[in-house]
Structure formats: C-alpha cells, structure tokens
Amino acid sequence: MQKIPSTVLIYQRGGAYYCDATGCFGGGYSGAYAGKTPEEAALFAEREKGRYISNNSAGGQIIIPAEVREALKAATIKA
C-alpha cells in the first residue's frame, strides 16, 4: 500500500478548537477536542504534527487558524 501525505486540520467551532487528522494510509479521526485557547490548540497541533506528519515519509500539511499559528510561534524557543 502506498503512503499518502498526512493532514492535520485545527479549526474553531463555538468557543473551542477541534481537530481532524488523516494518516498515511487514510486512517485518522474527526472532531477531537483540541482546547479552549489558541495556546492549548497550538500544543495539540504540535503533538499531532509529530504523530501524523513527522513520522510519515510522504510528509503532510498542518492547517491552523492565524491565532493558533501566532501562539505556536510565541512558544517556539530560539536556541
């Protein structure tokens, strides 16, 4: 079976963030709770990136709202 690129999608619904993910062989999930704040969603997105995209030789994409992207950039430690 050929691997396909993975996708991690974080979106806001109501007052919280949720996530849909697809893996390299088409598995994954839909509608998982990712947190109430952009910071919580950024942490969730980073974990799922490692779980679905970093471990996939075909790569993938992560799609997140602007406020979550900013929280992710703010949490990045510069060495």
pLDDT digits (tens, 9 = 90+) for 23-77: 988 889 999 999 999 999 999 999 999 999 988 889 999 999 999 999 988 876 6
pLDDT at 19: 97
d(CA 3, CA 34): 26
d(CA 23, CA 60): 9
d(CA 39, CA 17): 10
Q: How confident is the model at residue 20 (pLDDT cuts 50, 70, 90)?
A: very high
Give every CB contact of residue 22 below 8 A, 6+ residues apart in sequence: 6, 7, 28, 52
Q: Which residues pair with 10 in a beta bridge?
A: 19
d(CA 36, CA 18): 9
d(CA 52, CA 46): 10
